[in-house]
A and B are shown apart, each in its own frame.
Chain A
């Protein structure tokens, strides 16, 4: 087994990992989750025993970093939550919206970020990670059927949320 140069993983999966983190943890904390993901991956990489699913491995790490972030947010006093989500810039001011398309994406991802944990993770792993259900199940620590159910339920709540 040959572990490819880590740069190859960055080239192939870096952009979608970044999108995955920013979509779920917001523009302020998403980049931190992304950085923590890369550091954790680099730490563990030399000991990795299989190269058959490097993308799934990276997204599983990213999923856990996003969960860590959401847990930390949940523990903080309520006041700290203001300006912490996706619709907030560094100072708590709304992020400037570049284009109508960006505004729509923004809305969509705010709705994703507001989903319950497992649904959020499942939807993001499915549509940002483009992972098969087996990998989503592995990342979420549930059965494949449960992973499908979470994606489905997530999409269903998004539909009511976005078209409301």
Chain B
């Protein structure tokens, strides 16, 4: 009898799994409609590697490079913004499309709302000024940007603001160079910075 029950238990465990994909997608669409998704994320392939994009109802929150550990990035968002973080192709569609157009050379500015909440204080001031005042194809020095925000002695702090930019590419920290024209640093790696500058200079990528 015990053997019978064991066999039955094994049979129950082994029943065919149903595919939840469609029902999951339907549930997430409802959740988004009811405002239960606080952070939607998705991915897009680009010449600088696979990018992670995360969006809130307020706008684009985060762009992550392939070199960043995705689990760490998402956990950080769960802690700092909301644990209701889910993958959603739909919720990130507009941002992913605009990034694709940018890398194809068909877009020179982004038309998305930005959610600035991951940046505070001076860093945020610097990033907002960079976003507003340094257009596609132009560059600025760390000192120049410090001067733009009215703190000409703060170029080191400007460097820190660039290094901690949560929305790279869209908030164009790749356009910030050393005074001599040297590249300086870049969170996505210097080859990525060079590639973005070349793209905006009109060089063909492909």
Q: Which residues on A are within 8 Å of B, measured CB to CB? A: 2-8, 10, 14-19, 22-23, 27, 30-31, 34-35, 38-39, 42-43, 45-46, 101-102, 104-105, 108-109, 112, 123, 127-128, 130, 152, 155-156, 158-159, 162-163
- In Å, the complex CA distance between A21 and B36 comes to 21
A7 touches which of B15, B16, B30, B86 (Cβ 8 Å): B86
Q: List A contacts of B197 (CB < 8 A).
A: none
Mask, B6-42, CB within 8 Å of A = 1, is 0011011101111010011011101100101101010
On whether the beta carbons of B12 and A39 are closer than 8 Å, the reply is no
B8 touches which of A10, A22, A42, A162 (Cβ 8 Å): A162
Interface of B is mostly: helix
On whether the beta carbons of B84 and A101 are closer than 8 Å, the reply is no
On whether the beta carbons of A2 and B12 are closer than 8 Å, the reply is no
Binds A, one of B74-82, B111-119, B156-164: B74-82
Please give the distance in Å from A121's CB to the nearest CB on chain B: 14
On whether the beta carbons of A18 and B23 are closer than 8 Å, the reply is yes
Other A-B pairs, 17, CB within 8 Å; known A7-B85, A30-B18, A155-B8: A3-B83, A4-B83, A6-B83, A14-B20, A16-B17, A19-B18, A22-B18, A34-B20, A34-B23, A34-B27, A38-B27, A38-B31, A39-B30, A39-B34, A39-B36, A105-B15, A155-B5
> Closest residue to A109 on the B side, CB-wise?
B15
On whether the beta carbons of B78 and A15 are closer than 8 Å, the reply is no
Interface of A is mostly: helix
In the complex, the 7 A-B pairs of residues with the closest C-beta atoms, listed nearest first = A18-B20, A5-B85, A3-B83, A127-B12, A35-B27, A105-B15, A42-B36
Q: List A contacts of B77 (CB < 8 A).
A: 5
> Closest residue to B86 on the A side, CB-wise?
A7
Mask, B116-156, CB within 8 Å of A = 1, is 00000000000000000000000000000000000000000
| B4 interfacial by beta-carbon distance below 8 Å | yes
- In Å, the complex CA distance between A1 and B43 comes to 28
- In Å, the complex CA distance between A155 and B8 comes to 7
Q: List B contacts of A155 (CB < 8 A).
A: 5, 8-9
- In Å, the complex CA distance between A27 and B9 comes to 22
Please give the distance in Å from B55's CB to the nearest CB on chain A: 14
Q: List B contacts of A14 (CB < 8 A).
A: 20, 24
10 A–B contacts from the bound complex (CB under 8 Å): A5-B83, A6-B84, A7-B74, A19-B20, A35-B26, A38-B28, A45-B84, A109-B15, A155-B5, A162-B8
Q: List A contacts of B85 (CB < 8 A).
A: 5-7
Q: List A contacts of B15 (CB < 8 A).
A: 19, 23, 105, 108-109
